[in-house]
Amino acid sequence: MRPLDGITVVSLEQAVAAPFATRQLADLGARVIKIERPGSGDFARAYDKTVHGQGSYFVWLNRTKESVTLDLKTEAGQRILHELLADADVFVQNLAPGATRRQGLDAETLAARYPQLIVCDITGFGSTGPWADRKAYDLLVQFETGLVSITGTPDEVAKVGISVADISAGMNTYSGILTALYTRATTGKAPAIEVSLFESLAEWMGQPAYYTQYGGSQPLRAGAAHATIAPYGPYPIGDGGTVLLSIQHDREWRAFCGTVLGDPELADDDRFANNAVRVINRDALDKVIVARLAELDTATTRALLDSAGIANAKLNTVAEFLAHPVLAGRDRWRTIAQPRGDIQALLPPATLAGVDIAMGPVPDLGEHTDAVLAGLGYDDQNIAALRADGVI
């Protein structure tokens, strides 16, 4: 038994946020029926063609799901969707603003018709408020929350290299659905859920928001270095390598000065005696560190850091990450099927003792349409007619 065996999720989903949430439900045993447009499907399928002809986003986010094609602009398509919702536990959507309300698929209408159904809407800026009708994509939200203004170098802003707004919304959606399932199980009530990309990323902006509101200025862009902790960032080494080191508190600072820098008295220098002044005097501090590490090679530097108990890392490429000894040593990779060839996928990060995570195949577009319709009582003739009419 998996934790969500017996739970059925119907999802009108596309791109990243909703698919990330529902894939995690599928990992735990939920049956996820993914509704896609006939002919084209989830547009993330075509973002790129790097994974045996499929999009890298799509194969990451859609394993273990059933793909059903439906034209929801047709009466027959709407009828089939409602037949699915009648027996579903969760309905998730992240369509354009107002799209589901225009089709009578808003939370209020569905709650009245299906009291057992947990309805989850993912929006850009919320379903109410002054920006309810605005479209929102990941990078737009990174800009609006101020994230980009604190990311990059002093000379140039930069976006985060992954879809962080979508991912944060997907995580909040996933945890919200688990909470709602628990609430329904204990109270009998199925609460509706709304998650916005903007508010999800706004939560993750908590630290710089407080720093700015009560400190009088926002954190400075510091490239790959930490904006408000020093030393915490990458440094060049004498043999051409780079090491990232992190000092979290004054005990580590003293150990770093004595063991790595070879200058115990530096720990009490007025310019560097605590983190606040080290940040203010970062340029002078960095010159001391760079001068010392220029005398060392990478192996020696990391050995000294390890012996001093200082956290450190090397700058890996994505290819080096894929070959990381921790992933191999902890047996985190699994082989899953994909329509045009098997691929490797990582186990979910939350390991549940005794639970065998579902690591099913990535579906082809409409692969499960006939089987799902047959489960609803449609025969071959009915299905053929629906296909001829462009409904599926």
Q: Where are the domains of the chain?
A: 8-205+325-388, 232-315
Compute the distance between CA of residue 85 and CA of residue 79 in angstroms, rounded to an integer: 10
- pLDDT, residue 1, reads 85
| Nearest C-alpha neighbor of 387 from the set 33, 39, 41, 10 | 39
Which pLDDT band holds residue 8 (cuts at 50, 70, 90)? very high
- State the architecture of 8-205+325-388 in CATH terms: 3-Layer(aba) Sandwich (3.40)
pLDDT in tens, 280-336: 999 999 999 999 999 999 999 999 999 999 999 988 899 999 999 999 999 999 999
CA torsion through residues 373, 376, 381, 385, sign:
negative
Helix, coil or strand: residue 319: helix
Compute the distance between CA of residue 312 and CA of residue 310 in angstroms, rounded to an integer: 6
Question: Would you please indicate which residues are annotated as catalytic (active-site) residues?
Answer: 226
Rounded to a whole number, what is the largest CA-CA distance in the chain?
86
Tokens of 193: 């859920």
pTM: 0.90
Strand boundaries in 29-106, DSSP class E:
31-36, 66-69, 90-93
Question: What is the average pLDDT across 257-282?
Answer: 94
Q: How far is CA 389 from the centre of its chain?
A: 38
Q: What CATH superfamily classification does 232-315 receive?
A: formyl-coa transferase, domain 3 (3.30.1540.10)
Amino acid letter, residue 295? E
Find tokens 């003739």 and name the residue: 381
Q: Give the angle subtended at the CA of 293 by the CAs of 288 and 298, to the nearest 5°.
A: 160
Question: What is the average pLDDT across 206-229?
Answer: 92
Find tokens 């990941």 and name the residue: 138
Amino acid letter, residue 339? P
Tokens of 235: 């440094």
Intrachain domains 8-205+325-388 and 232-315 with the same fold = no
